Amino acid sequence: MIISNIAAPLLGLIDTAIIGHLPQSIYLSAVALGAMTVSFIFLLAIFLRMTTTAEIAAAFGANDHSAQQRVVLHGIAIALGLGFLLWLLSPVLIEFAWWLIEPGIELGQLASSYVSIRLFAAPAALINLLVLGVLLGRQQSQRAMALVIFTNAVNVVADVILILGLDLNVKGAAWASVLAEVSTALVGIWLIRDTLTGVKQWQFDLAYFKRFSQMNRDVFIRSLLLQLCMATMTGYAARFGAVVVAANAVLMQFLMLISLGLDGIAYAVEALLGAARGRGDTPKIRYWMKLTLFWSLIFSVAYCLVFLLAGEFIIRLLTDLPDVINTALVYLPWLVVLPLVGHWSYYFDGVYIGLGLTQAMRDTMAVSALGIFMPSVFIGQWLIDKENANHGLWLALSLFLLARGISQWLYLKKHSLTLLVLNHPSK
């Protein structure tokens, strides 16, 4: 899963490189703006991947094939229903996005065309999240990795044909992504075809659908609060000038590098704990929690050392603007300590998904985001002089990540793991 996390952005660079070599820069701006909008929408739908992993892992651990079929059936219903709803609401979503961003007329028109085309594939994109959840839950990480690489490979080939070959510029980039999403959905359905066979198991269970929907609702709220905090980091920094915004954008890429490794560990935690939960094996839950925490700590220390020794080198790779480099170096120490502070939140996300504790995941996120991050942002701006106010933002982010880890740890400490293993899909 770490390899697949790395493969996605690396192959995606080719997409940007192709559109970035067209004669007019507005094409690149439109694709970047449109892709950001679509990614934000689909990122909020990540709940479908996470809840599917939790439910499938428990059914896999219990060796209950009919339970796996039930998860897939109800997951497909949610994916198709929500996907078609996103497609129908695309004009409203685009209008709301441009109301927030306020792009120029020509840029807005090109980006609108991109988003409209991309949302045609919303049902397929959500099916892909479901399939990825199934593969992770069944510990078929190699298939999940192959599927991610396949998606990006199709996108690159289609980009070359549609953008360079047929000269479709922005529309070509959008249709290339649509082709990648739809073809991946078809391959993904084929990979999990065993969960779609057996007519007797295709029975819609309203009670389970309600429970599964509630899990998805909890993770959706959690993701929305997380994105709110990340957006505040960017939006509030705008008060400090363009150079600070650019420096923060560079430093936020360090967070992406952190997620490449720690998300891979979190995916493993989800699958391993979910399977142990399905078997009702409390000793195994404790074993996997200790072992995966050890690896999470190893990765966090490694990131700290890399950022300490090569942080300036990474910054200079990302930008050659002297003012941005100098400003980013001022705030680099925050990124050096952030992996050690923040790895707990990645780790416990995996634990909570694996144990099916979506409501507690939502509540601890709400406490951390609304009770720690937001007050810290405003208090930090009040206590710190304007020249160093950006330190207040990075302090707020660090406290937010730390609060997430502490609140999730306290919840697990309070509740017995013997009760947690009873949180099985069949219960």
The burial class, CB within 10 Å (0-12 / 13-18 / 19+), for 204 is exposed
Q: What is the pLDDT of residue 332?
A: 93
Q: Spell out, as residue ranges, where the chain has pLDDT lower than 50.
A: 199, 418-419, 421-422, 424-427
Own/partner contacts of 406-410, CB < 8 Å, gap of 24 or more, are 406/344, 407/364, 407/367, 407/368, 408/344, 408/345, 408/348, 408/351, 408/352, 408/360, 408/361, 408/364, 409/344, 409/348
Q: What is the pLDDT of residues 240-264, one digit of tens each?
A: 777 787 788 788 878 888 888 888 8
> Side chain identity at 225, as an amino acid letter?
L
- Distance, CA of 186 to chain centre: 22
8 A C-beta contact, residue 36 and residue 231: no
How far from chain centre, in Å, is Cα 71? 21
* pLDDT value, residue 221: 92
- The predicted pLDDT at position 422 comes to 47
Report which DSSP code applies to 268.
Answer: H
For the chain, give every domain's residue range.
1-204, 214-426
Predicted pLDDT of residue 426: 47
What pLDDT digit, counting tens, does each position of 163-213 carry?
888 888 888 888 998 999 999 999 999 999 888 876 455 567 778 888 888
Q: Give residue 199's pLDDT.
A: 46
Distance (Å, rounded) from C-alpha 368 to C-alpha 379?
Answer: 15
Q: How far apart are CA 387 and CA 99, in angstroms?
A: 31
Q: Which residue do the tokens 């709940």 mark?
A: 47
Q: CATH class for domain 1-204?
A: mainly alpha
Rg (CA), the chain: 22
pTM of the predicted protein model = 0.81
What integer pLDDT is reported at residue 200 of this predicted model?
Answer: 54
pLDDT for the residue 420: 52
Position 243 scores a pLDDT of 79
Return the exposure string of 68-103: e unless at least 16 CB atoms fall within 10 Å of the residue's CB, then b: bbbbbbbbbebbbebbeebbeebeebbeebbeeeeb
- Specify the pLDDT at position 339: 93
